[in-house]
Structure 1
Amino acid sequence: MTEPMRTSTRHLQELHDRLTAWLSGRLGVPVEVTEVARPSANGLSSETVFFTAAWDGRREHCVARLAPAGEAVPVFPSYDLRTQFDITRLARRKAGIPAPRPLWFEPDPAPLGTPFFVMERVDGEVPPDVMPYTFGGWLHEAAPADRRRLQDSTVGILAALHDARFTQEELPALGAGGLREHVEAQRAYYEWAHGKLRIPVLERAFDWLEAHWPGDPGGDVLCWGDARIGNVIYRDFTPVAVLDWEMAAVGPRELDLAWMIFLHRFFQDLTEAMGLPGLPDFMRRDDVCRTYRELTGHEPRDMEFHEMYAALRHGIIMARVWRRRIHFGEQAMPDDPDDLVMHRATIEEMLTG
């Protein structure tokens, strides 16, 4: 993960022209759109576009989230941007989550060739995916106390979200929820993402989950889904914007906790494989679970199960992303399909205990 992966087939000039026409029509006044750009360090699923809009003496720094074009080999089979837009508003209003302010939702694919929504752009620092923050940079070089402050405040996002109460009527697109439904949805996603191609290490992980199913998965809450520090904007090591709600789901709290823990392990393992120390004292399971318990009173359970599930889910996604790279000629198909999973060694280690 040393160079950006291609995620779009749309040209920036075309996006500029179409955004200008759409927003001018939406607001009923001429709008000047400038500074159209894409992020370079994070994001492999939805297409993200930065731009600035000015009209009637007002100036907004904006972020548009677009469902990817079919020819771009999407990571997910569908992109419910309406639900993402609504959950962003609900998380702000009912849980006090510092999600960016939603501005406009456009369900009609005609203006940009796909549905999209626009939210405010929040300034700050994001721990990068490329090169991973474990290799160096502002978080790596921070004082241990500052890193711990960032860690604890990020776990606090999960605590606030999970303790907020939402009705099923507010989250109709997420279904009834539950661990079993979530895992079955991942099986369906695996089949969609890879078709007739079998990836043995992922199928072994599915079998492991069945053999170690929790006796009591616990109650369900609204889960962020892609709960990781790379989806948070920070100022002074404090979250100021929580991003990317496309994997939101109703399920056990541990879905988010384990994802946050494992996604750091994913980057840490990559870093150690390159002979670098990384951040071994960051996002450790015991520390994360202790902070969460202190904030919520909930004792995280079955974390080995949920971390294996996080590794499996991430493996399906990364194999799909790697196949997109193959599609765009950025990488050759490996002889062993397990090598599509960047962290196959980690999953194999977890499978053997």
Structure 2
Amino acid sequence: MPVPQQRDPELTRKRLTGWLAERLPSAGEPRIAVTVPQGAGFSHESLLVDAEWTDRGRPRSTRLVVRVAPAGYRVMPVSHLDDEYAILSALAGTDVPVPAVLGHEPDPGLLGAPFYAMAHVDGWVPTDLPSYHRAGPLHDLPAGGRAAVWSNGVDVLRRLHRLDPAALGLTGLRAPAGLTAQLDFYERHLDHFDGPGAGVAVRALDVLRAALPPRPATPRLVWGDARLGNLLYSGTAVAAVLDWEMAFLGPGEADLGWYLWFDRHLSEGVGAPRLPGLPGRTETVRRYASGAAAAARETAEHLGWYELFAGFRFALIANRVGRLIVEHGMVASEDDVPLARNAARLLDRALHERT
């Protein structure tokens, strides 16, 4: 849900012109146009930048997306924008499709907060609002196309989790590494995430701590926000994996749990029937495990824990989003924001399923 954005487009254009001139090949002083969205979400601000310049007498142009760290209202208590840039840089050239990055600016003086620039990638995204189970481009596909979209997303997870973070140079990420550190992080910031789902989240936290899965022999890069709404598609193929702000090092199954949980939230959690043609949980696990029966059994053994872990985090994040919407004056009270209530109810249901 967007919020009012007060950025000055002309000032932003002038400041980005000099910054891009140092990074675009033979750009001199590029001519750029900056599109400032009418509203920005409670996460990173995204600016669309069209740049034109002359290189050896030939006209050149490119379209970029500039991701700016939240300077005021933010969902997460801390920003790890430098982690995001490091991840995108490291994944370039792998079989996990990500936008090419142009540069990172840690100094907040230029745009009011640190930022990085990346290539714009054309494509379409399955919608969260309205839920893709109710409307939108995924809903409008035939059953076979829906299955391909879902399965190609699962394939991205499998390929990501086969990569060695050490070989990619990603062992120095600032995000808390491992499941215990992740639980500690959210518990330490419970006040930040306070809201209607806080009580059930605390109950879930106790359950999660009491049944931690074994540590993986080799921690993997966990995307953190692994869902269809963060995948850019060309047809039914994944063109780019977006939004790495929740990434951490840990077990890859954490992403699979979030992938399944968010789909459950967008169907059962909001009272929508699940789209025909989308593969179910068993088929999804089998594909993630490359069809190997032993690997599928190993993945499924603790998957319920990872789904609960996803529900715990999402309930807290939904709390925060609801509070920010009220603080921005977009609604009168949190009673007008169903997101947190829906997330808390689904988490409570999952806890009862475990008893």
- Could you report, residue by residue, the CA deviation over 1:270-316 in whole angstroms, capped at 9, with x for unpaired residues? 542xxx53426535321211101116846313111111110110111
Alignment partner, residue 154 of structure 1: 153
1:170 aligns to 2:166 (yes or no): no
Change (3 A) 1:206 1:176: closer
Q: Secondary structure at the match of 2:289?
A: helix
State the 1:203 CA deviation: 1.1
Q: Secondary structure at the match of 1:55?
A: strand
For the Cα contact (< 8 Å) 2:52–2:61, is it kept in 1? yes
State the 1:43 CA deviation: 5.8
Distance 1:13 1:295 in 2: 54
- Could you report, residue by residue, the CA deviation over 1:227-282 in whole angstroms, capped at 9, with x for unpaired residues? 1111111011000111111111111111100001111111113542xxx5342653
Alignment partner, residue 308 of structure 2: 308
Change (3 A) 1:39 1:245: farther
- Once the two structures are overlaid, the 10-residue window that deviates more, 170-179 or 58-67, is 170-179
Alignment partner, residue 82 of structure 1: 82
Alignment partner, residue 261 of structure 2: 262
State the 1:174 CA deviation: 4.1
State the 1:176 CA deviation: 7.7
State the 1:323 CA deviation: 0.8
State the 1:125 CA deviation: 0.7
Residue number among 36, 55, 71 corresponding to 2:53 in the alignment: 55
Amino acid at match of 1:291: R
Distance 1:230 1:337 in 2: 20
Distance 1:59 1:289 in 2: 43
TM-score (norm: length of structure 2): 0.86
Amino acid at match of 1:279: L
Distance 1:269 1:280 in 2: 14
Distance 1:247 1:110 in 2: 25
1:291 aligns to 2:287 (yes or no): yes
Alignment partner, residue 67 of structure 2: 65
State the 1:188 CA deviation: 2.1
Q: Secondary structure at the match of 1:74?
A: coil
User: Please, what is the CA RMSD of the aligned residues?
Assistant: 2.8
- Could you report, residue by residue, the CA deviation over 1:30-50 in whole angstroms, capped at 9, with x for unpaired residues? 22112514397x964111111
Alignment partner, residue 128 of structure 1: 127
For the Cα contact (< 8 Å) 2:160–2:221, is it kept in 1? yes
Distance 1:146 1:124 in 2: 15
Distance 1:270 1:54 in 2: 46
1:179 aligns to 2:184 (yes or no): no
State the 1:338 CA deviation: 10
Change (3 A) 1:43 1:123: farther
Alignment partner, residue 203 of structure 2: 204
Distance 2:22 2:162 in 1: 41
For the Cα contact (< 8 Å) 1:39–1:50, is it kept in 2? no
Amino acid at match of 1:284: G
TM-score (norm: length of structure 1): 0.87
Alignment partner, residue 333 of structure 1: 333
Alignment partner, residue 15 of structure 1: 12
Distance 1:203 1:217 in 2: 23
**Percent of aligned positions with the same letter in both sequences?**
30
Distance 2:176 2:136 in 1: 41
Distance 1:45 1:329 in 2: 17
Change (3 A) 1:263 1:36: same
For the Cα contact (< 8 Å) 1:7–1:44, is it kept in 2? no
State the 1:320 CA deviation: 0.7
Amino acid at match of 1:75: V
Q: Secondary structure at the match of 1:257?
A: helix
- Name the count of aligned residue pairs: 341
Alignment partner, residue 118 of structure 1: 117
State the 1:53 CA deviation: 1.0
Q: Secondary structure at the match of 2:246?
A: coil
What are the equivalent positions in structure 2 for 1:134-145 lying under 5 Å apart? Answer: 134-145=133-144
State the 1:213 CA deviation: 3.1
Distance 1:326 1:210 in 2: 32
1:234 aligns to 2:253 (yes or no): no
Q: Which runs of 5+ in 2 are unaligned?
A: none
For the Cα contact (< 8 Å) 2:138–2:146, is it kept in 1? yes
